[in-house]
Amino acid sequence: MRRKFDEQLAHLNESLIEMGIMVEQAIANADKALIEQDTELAQQIIASDDDIDNKENEIEGLCLKLILQQQPVASDLRLVSSALKMVTDLERIGDHATDISEITILLAKTPYIKNMAHISQMAEATKKMVTDSINAFVNRDIALANEVISYDDVVDDLFLLVRGEMLALINEDLKNSDQAIDLIMIAKYLERIGDHATNVAEWVIFSITGTHKDKRIV
C-alpha cells in the first residue's frame, strides 16, 4: 500500500513540476511579448491558458484519488491538501499572464513612453519565485520556501518603482495617462503573481510542519 502511495506521490510531484514549467513559460512569454510588442505571441499565451487549466484539473483529480483510495495519514494528507491549494495559485498565475498579454495586444501599435527594464525585472523575479516554490515542495525544503516568501519584497519594491515612474510621466504630460495606467496594471499583475508564488511557498511550509502563517492547523 505504501509503495503504491509513494508512486502516486512521485507522479503528483512530476505533475506539479510540469505545471510550474508551464506557468514559468507563460510569465517569460508574456514579458517577451510585451517588450517586443509581439501580438502573435500574446495570442498564443492567451490560448495556452486552457492547457494550464487542464493541468490544474488533472492534478486536482490525482490529489482526490490519493485521498480517497490511499487514505493517507496526517503528514501525507497535509502534503496532498497543500498540493490542492498550490495548483489554485499556479492557475491564477497563468490567468495573470493572460491578463498581461491582453494589455500587450492593446498597446502593440503605440510606442512605449518608458523603457520596460523594471517590468522585465519584475517578470524575472516572479519566475524565480515560482521555480523555487515548486522546488521547495518537491524537495521538502523549508529554507527555500522561506527564501521565496522573503523575495516577494523584491517584487513589491519593483512595483512601487514602476508605479512611481508612471505617475511621474502622467504629471509631465497628461497624454501619457492611458498607457501609463495600462503599464501600472501590468506591474500590478506581476506583483500579484509574486503574491501567489508566496502563497505556494506558505503551503509548502504547511505541508512539512502543519503550520500555516504561524498558525498551527494540524
Domains of the chain, earliest start first: 2-216 (1.20.58.220)
Residue 213: predicted pLDDT: 76
144 and 208 Cβ atoms separated by less than 8 Å: no
Total residues found in the chain within this entry: 218
β-pairing verdict for 211-212 and 215-216: antiparallel
Name, in order, each residue with C-beta under 8 angstroms of 3's C-beta and a sequence gap of 6 or more.
none
Name, in order, each residue with C-beta under 8 angstroms of 162's C-beta and a sequence gap of 6 or more.
118, 119, 122, 183, 184, 187
pLDDT averages per 10-residue partition of the chain, 218 residues: 78 93 97 97 98 97 87 82 95 98 95 95 97 94 97 98 97 96 98 98 94 69
Using DSSP's 3-state secondary structure scheme, residue 211 falls into: strand
Residue 32: predicted pLDDT: 97
Residue 69: predicted pLDDT: 81
Residue 187 to residue 208: CA distance in whole angstroms: 32
pTM: 0.93
Residue 199 to residue 142: CA distance in whole angstroms: 14
Using DSSP's 3-state secondary structure scheme, residue 212 falls into: strand
